[in-house]
Structure 1
Amino acid sequence: MRPSETALPQLLHAEITALGGYVPDRILTNDQLAGMVETNDEWIVQRTGIRERRLCAPDQYTSDLCCAAVDNMLARYPVSVHDVDLILVATHTPDFPCPSVACQVQANFGIESAGAIDLNATCAGFVYALHMANGMIASGLHRKVLVLGADALSRVTDYTDRTTCILFGDGAGAALVEARGDQPAFLAARLESDGTGGSHVYRTGLRSELNGTPLRNTKLLVQNGPMVYKWAVQTVPQGMRSLLDKAGIPMEAVDWFVPHSANLRMIESICEKSGFPISKTLYSMVMYGNTSAATVPLALSDAAAAGRLSAGQTLLLYGFGGGLTQAGLLLRWTV
């Protein structure tokens, strides 16, 4: 090789090879919420489809949820995490600003020689992290990536605000992404953001205004539900069609749609506007609530455990949420 020449890394194909999920033991039902704020089970189910949600124990945080999800994955699949070379954790409720949740996962499992990064794309975070894992593997820079989506939203929920406290729960999902196979399993991706809508979903930190809008400095999650709902049902169906057009795959060829499980009524509206049947849609909010970055992996984990996913199926994953952020991913299922 001449001095001016550079050896390019061999392009590799990434596949999801294992899944895991975890939700805490403590259950908060709609009837229990009715004793905390002015609401009732019928009102909540009619508007959100949520019947109960899981909450962390007093000594349980996002890193604990992540480690439990990995334990669940290891119990279900003949895989190891000891040779993982990168850990990506999607969360906006880390135990600490520093150290990262990813570093805590690395320490818990004694994974040597692995990079560890937290990323925050809120409810779109897990799909973003899968996209990044695919890029890392396709470039040849990494061969085995542990991807986690987890949030402990009960830690930042205002339980005096009935418009938000009825929605949120805690949970985590894990996926192992490896360099395998001679055919791509990650078929197409689409990312989008609209920072002008950032003040519709926020949690305050060092700054008390955003885009000129004063923020409620409560340190708790604040959401303008009607605006987020309108944004999602208008933009997600367009994003789905754009992603499928990019891949050259018709809507009818998709076996499962796996959107962020924010609200069942929102998902029903997205399906209606996109023309995709709700009967072929996987969601996790009914018994777990909106778990933010964990909703998509929990839906996948539960569907896999129930035998609903099969090798060769085409899945359309779509996360959307605070930022405002969106991420769509088209997968050929191989697990």
Structure 2
Amino acid sequence: MKRYSRITGTGSYLPPRRLSNHDMVALLAARGIETSDEWIVERTGIRARHYADDGVNASDLALAACQQALQAAGRQVGDIDLIIVATSTPDMVFPSTAAILQHKLTEAALAQGQPGAAGGAAFDVQAVCSGFIYALTVADAMIRAGAAQRALVVGAEVFSRLLDFNDRTTCVLFGDGAGAVVLEAVEHDGQGPGVLASDIHADGRHSGILCVPGTVSGGQVLGDPLLKMDGQAVFKLAVGLLEDAARAALAKAGKQDADIDWLIPHQANIRIMQSTARKLKLPMDKVVVTVHEHGNTSAASIPLALDHAVRQGQVRPGQLLMLEGVGGGFTWGAVLLRF
């Protein structure tokens, strides 16, 4: 018998404010920038996205997603001894969004007469749109090593605050949201549920093609604090790297393309998702797609899509899932797991 980590509950949260493409067209028109619903859908597959209201932070979105995941897993906050938050839009420079989330979870639990999560490890992972894959890989390794028993692994983003609304090629793409999973230790002979293999990478030579080139120094913003992207360069890199990571994870687990029941990719662009599915010889009806309603929610997109598929009855126990993503850095990776 070996120790594995398995997902026992999923949760997600989208802020209530929904902007359709028509809303976005009107928003940009007020700035003298022309675009259209057809232009956005044809190039991205996106029809809507959600934005958080002022004063609502990544930890607030994460809190709602985590509470939903805990309920699905039949666990309380006090059962959790590890929290990892993947985000590129933290609440503040420090402490980590994970530490802030731990406090909010604990306060909510104590208010209901339940134990909190204070004392367990809590930290952030920053790998942009690959962040959830990185965080899940780290949590899996810690659980396998015995350093944790039950973890909350979260992707939470308020990307709307990084967008340049004078650049129609980027501002239409991104949205806000959060997704979370409860990951627990389990022992079996390798045939049961759990993370089977992961494969993560980075290549900093491509850091300039997707970035927010700003920082804070002496109380001032240095550089440009808005998102910059070379869309063509990202597309060309993404498709090949996603295939490579997926095949590496399959090889580590001794599985084949045909064994995959569901591909749950980072929801960045429908064209990238379609190209990746073709390379893995998977029909699109085996791909979980939420990009049309969520937009690109960066580190939140994979757990958001996973939770959607679970609650819609698409993903069922015993199925083999391939989760994969690419992001600024340039980062990429995949996780193969049995649900």
Taking structure 2 as the reference length, the TM-score comes to 0.90
**Structure 1 residue 43 and structure 2 residue 51: aligned?**
no
Q: Which of 171, 174, 189 lines up with 2:198 in the alignment?
A: 189
State the 1:234 CA deviation: 2.3
**Structure 1 residue 17 and structure 2 residue 8: aligned?**
yes
For residues 66 and 303 of structure 1, the distance between their equivalents in structure 2, rounded to whole angstroms, comes to 19
Which aligned pairs between 1:180-329 and structure 2 lie closer than 5 A?
A: 180-184=186-190, 185-206=194-215, 217-329=223-335
SS at 1:13 equivalent: strand
The one-letter code matched in structure 2 to 1:32 is D
The one-letter code matched in structure 1 to 2:171 is C
CA RMSD for the aligned pairs? 1.7
For residues 46 and 262 of structure 2, the distance between their equivalents in structure 1, rounded to whole angstroms, comes to 21
The one-letter code matched in structure 2 to 1:28 is L
Please name the residue that 1:56 is paired with: 52
Q: Which of 24, 35, 40 lines up with 1:33 in the alignment?
A: 24
Q: Which moved more, 1:301-310 or 1:178-187?
A: 178-187
SS at 1:331 equivalent: strand
State the 1:288 CA deviation: 0.8
State the 1:246 CA deviation: 2.4
Runs of 4+ in 1 over 4 A off after TM superposition: none
The one-letter code matched in structure 1 to 2:92 is F
State the 1:193 CA deviation: 1.3
The one-letter code matched in structure 2 to 1:73 is A
**Contact 1:283 1:296 survives alignment (8 Å):** no
Unaligned runs of 5+ in 2: 107-116
Seen in structure 2, the aligned counterparts of structure 1 residues 207 and 198 have a Cα distance that, compared at 3 Å, is farther
State the 1:40 CA deviation: 0.5
**Contact 2:157 2:299 survives alignment (8 Å):** yes
State the 1:34 CA deviation: 1.2
Please name the residue that 1:165 is paired with: 171
Taking structure 1 as the reference length, the TM-score comes to 0.91
- How high is the sequence identity, in percent, across the aligned residues? 41
**Contact 2:63 2:101 survives alignment (8 Å):** yes
Please name the residue that 1:120 is paired with: 126
For residues 217 and 31 of structure 1, the distance between their equivalents in structure 2, rounded to whole angstroms, comes to 32
For residues 280 and 125 of structure 2, the distance between their equivalents in structure 1, rounded to whole angstroms, comes to 29
**Structure 1 residue 67 and structure 2 residue 63: aligned?**
yes
CA displacement, residues 42-91 of structure 1 (integer Å, 9 cap, x when unaligned): 11111100000000011211111101111222444422121211110000
SS at 1:20 equivalent: strand
For residues 251 and 230 of structure 2, the distance between their equivalents in structure 1, rounded to whole angstroms, comes to 32
The one-letter code matched in structure 2 to 1:106 is Q
Please name the residue that 1:147 is paired with: 153
* Matched residues, number: 317
The one-letter code matched in structure 1 to 2:279 is K
